[in-house]
């Protein structure tokens, strides 16, 4: 069965028209026509560099569509272009291409300071283990190209834990490397004509479920200590763990993606910017077994010590569903600090929460200047949630006195249908959860007995239905929230 072609595009009409989700048949037909509009078709196996349209300046451009894609600064066309077939690749869905991809990257690394390079992946099914990218490089998946993650765990080697986590997120010690990996890179483009990268994650999910997992699962794509990154026009499927994970990165654009995983698959977050700055996530459709997007910055004492925040992050026109988690999550790994985040035009349905701020004792860190606006949701359990975590710590060295600080969370223009419960805002005793501002929030489907649940939080609310909790009713004539 052919994969859906950019369902997020079709969702735009549904978003504003109030229609139900389009069928797969409609998506396939419509997206087949639209999927090639951003990149022009290039002949298979021909060494031609596809033209990448320079992004418009942030939040400006023709028409009403705003974009933050100028975070990525395109360089000149790549100096050389090769096909994976040149390095012995076979796209039959059976042969291992691990060595072919690694040979290709070893060869193309030589052109980093000579105009850069591009590796084309033609139509076919290309099984591979993990491989490392290089700088001044484009990975281009042609139409019909599918990269498949190896089913041999040994082809996902174990690497060191991230210093802001201190250990693997799930298990002691190191962690399995991502299928596509890069460390210390600059100017990397991962794009194509809606080709696919499929982690074939069920093997890893089974190990998680039956408790035979020895090391933390690998991501589908992880870039570390890298800058000037563009990831676009692709479908990512069935990640073993978090799908796309830029960590310690800057100037990252992630746009026009479809990210899919079974709704019951464990911890298959869609996009997780982590201790990164200047990150643009826009026009993405995500179905996963965890948060669609989660902003992170390190875990307890390790994140506090590294003090590498996530800041200047824009999440725009993201839509999708997750039955267990949230459309956009802040934390819970937020010990390095999270600030200056904008979320707008978010559409979530059949999910546990639309937006959620997750913290815990021992996290320390801060969350500040978060703006969330223009949110539409249907059949969501808890629309807006602040949660205290679940006593989740890397080891016994966590500091019980390290409390998070939350200040300046602005939520406006929220509309929900068939909502199950009123918002839940749970702070932590002794911590500062203040400066909350909610305006123009309408949550339908709740009965007259529905009441907000609030603890250890302070702020204001205007034009909010149902009536908010007492902690949000300090709305005097000099209100900072009312006139923001």
Tokens matching residue 139: 């990975």
Go through the chain and tell me how many residues it has: 484
For the CA atoms of 307, 231, 244, 148, the dihedral, rounded to the nearest 10 degrees, stands at: -150
Q: Phi/psi at 182 (nearest 5 deg)?
A: -160, 145
Distance CA 221, CA 178 (A): 6
Helix axes 24-34, 7-17, angle to 10 degrees: 110
Q: Annotated catalytic, 290?
A: yes
In this structure, are residues 179 and 149 in contact, taking their beta carbons and an 8 Å threshold? Answer: yes
Q: 66 burial class (0-12, 13-18, 19+ CB within 10 angstroms)?
A: middle
Q: Which of 241, 268, 271 is nearest to 253 (CA)?
A: 271
For the CA atoms of 6, 12, 17, 20, the dihedral, rounded to the nearest 10 degrees, stands at: 30
Distance CA 24, CA 39 (A): 23
Residue of 283, 290, 291, 345 with catalytic role: 290
Share of the chain residues as helix, strand and coil, in percent rounded to the nearest 5 = 15, 40, 45
Query: Which residues are identified as catalytic?
Result: 290
């Amino acid at each position: 069965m052919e994969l859906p072609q950019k369902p997020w595009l079709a969702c735009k009409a549904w978003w504003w028209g109030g229609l139900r989700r389009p069928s797969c048949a409609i998506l396939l037909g419509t997206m087949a026509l639209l999927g090639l509009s951003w990149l022009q078709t290039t002949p298979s196996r021909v060494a031609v560099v596809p033209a990448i349209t320079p992004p418009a300046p942030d939040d400006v451009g023709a028409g009403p569509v705003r974009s933050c894609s100028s975070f990525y600064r395109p360089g000149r066309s790549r100096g050389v272009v090769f096909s994976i077939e040149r390095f012995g690749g076979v796209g039959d869905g059976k042969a291992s291409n691990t060595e072919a991809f690694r040979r290709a990257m070893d060869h193309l690394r030589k052109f980093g300071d000579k105009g850069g390079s591009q590796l084309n992946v033609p139509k076919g099914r290309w099984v591979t283990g993990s491989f490392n990218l290089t700088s001044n490089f484009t990975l281009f998946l042609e139409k019909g190209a599918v990269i498949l993650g190896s089913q041999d765990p040994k082809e996902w080697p174990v690497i060191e834990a991230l210093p802001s986590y201190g250990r693997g997120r799930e298990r002691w010690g190191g962690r399995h490397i991502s299928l596509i990996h890069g460390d210390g890179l600059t100017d990397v483009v991962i794009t194509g004509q809606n080709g696919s990268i499929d982690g074939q994650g069920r093997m890893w999910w089974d190990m998680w479920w039956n408790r035979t997992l020895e090391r933390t699962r690998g991501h589908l794509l992880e870039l570390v200590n890298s800058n000037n990154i563009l990831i676009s026009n692709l479908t990512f499927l069935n990640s073993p763990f978090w799908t796309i994970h830029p960590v310690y990165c800057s100037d990252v654009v992630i746009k026009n993606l479809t990210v899919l995983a079974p709704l019951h698959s464990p911890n298959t977050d869609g996009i997780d910017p982590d201790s990164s700055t200047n990150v643009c996530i826009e026009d993405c459709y995500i179905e996963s077994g965890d948060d669609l997007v989660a902003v992170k910055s390190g875990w307890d004492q390790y994140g506090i010590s590294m003090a590498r925040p996530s800041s200047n992050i824009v999440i725009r026109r993201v839509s999708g569903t997750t039955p267990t988690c949230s459309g956009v999550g802040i934390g819970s790994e937020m010990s390095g600090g999270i600030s200056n985040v904008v979320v707008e035009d978010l559409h979530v349905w059949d999910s546990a929460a639309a937006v959620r701020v997750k913290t815990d004792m021992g996290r320390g860190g801060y969350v500040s200047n978060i703006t969330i606006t223009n949110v539409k949701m249907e059949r969501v359990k808890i629309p807006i949630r602040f949660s205290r975590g679940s006593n989740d710590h890397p080891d016994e060295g966590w500091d019980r006195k390290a409390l998070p600080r939350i200040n300046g969370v602005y939520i406006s223009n929220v509309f929900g249908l068939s909502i199950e419960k009123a918002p839940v805002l749970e702070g932590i005793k002794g911590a500062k959860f203040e400066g909350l501002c909610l305006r123009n929030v309408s949550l339908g489907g709740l009965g007259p007995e529905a009441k907000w649940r609030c603890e250890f939080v302070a702020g204001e609310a205007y034009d909010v239905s149902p009536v908010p909790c007492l902690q949000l009713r300090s709305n005097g004539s000099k209100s900072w929230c009312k006139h923001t």
